[in-house]
Every structure is written in structure tokens, then in C-alpha cells.
Amino acid sequence: MTQPSPALLAWHARFMEALCARDANVYLAFLAPECTITINNALPTYAKAAIERVYSVYLALFKTLTADVLNIHGDEHSLSVEALLNYTLNDGSSEVVQCAWFLTRDDAGLITAVRVYGNASRVFKPFIPTAK
């Protein structure tokens, strides 16, 4: 695996700060207009405008988020990351989600695609339909 450059590590640190800041505009500034996000095996969300709608719902699910990056590999256009996402949910409980994501960036450094793997079902419970 390729070790990321100091510039790429700094970019990813800013990206993580944006994710944890819970500010949609700051986060969305990292995404290309045609960005695609796929979580596990769900259907992808296409385009920055659609991601913006989903992201605001996601932010309503928790009070705080911090991240511990465990591993990061890649180059200026393709990056893989393993991390622990530490959520404080609205009811005050805490959840830690171990996950990995793979992202690609265009020449301007904007994210064009993200694929996230992890079991965040306890965080996303409001999105999960219950069987009747």
C-alpha cells in the first residue's frame, strides 16, 4: 500500500474535521457536484444535491462525533481509511462504529466517490424499517 503524502494527510485531517464539525456546508465543500456515496451494500446516493438532503437527516441522529483514524493509505486520487467513529446520540448514549472507507478525488481534490463499510445500525436506527 502507498503511504500518503504529508499534503494528503493534511487534506484528510481537514476532511475529518469537517465531518466531525456537523456543519453541512463545510462537509459538502469537499464533494464534487457529481459525487456518489455508497454505504455498505445500499444503493448509492448520487450527486451533491441529493447527498446534502441525506446528510442533514444524518446530522439529526446524534449530538457529537469524533473520529480516531487507525490506518490511511493511498495517493492523491485514491484513498483507503480505517477509523473508529465515536458518536454521542441524542439520548446521551455512546456508540463506537468501526469502519473503513474508500474514496476517490478528482484533479481539483474534490471527492468524486466514497464507499463506506461499517455497522452503524445503532446510529442509523431511525432509517431502518422494522419488520411487522
Chain segment 5-27, per-residue pLDDT in tens: 999 999 999 999 999 999 999 99
The CATH-assigned architecture of domain 6-126 is: Roll (3.10)
CA distance 83 to 78: 17
Per-residue confidence at 131, pLDDT binned at 50, 70, 90?
Answer: very low
- Residue 37: the pLDDT is 93
pTM above 0.85, yes or no: yes
Domain boundaries, the chain: 6-126
pLDDT at 106 over 60: yes
Per-residue confidence at 94, pLDDT binned at 50, 70, 90?
Answer: very high
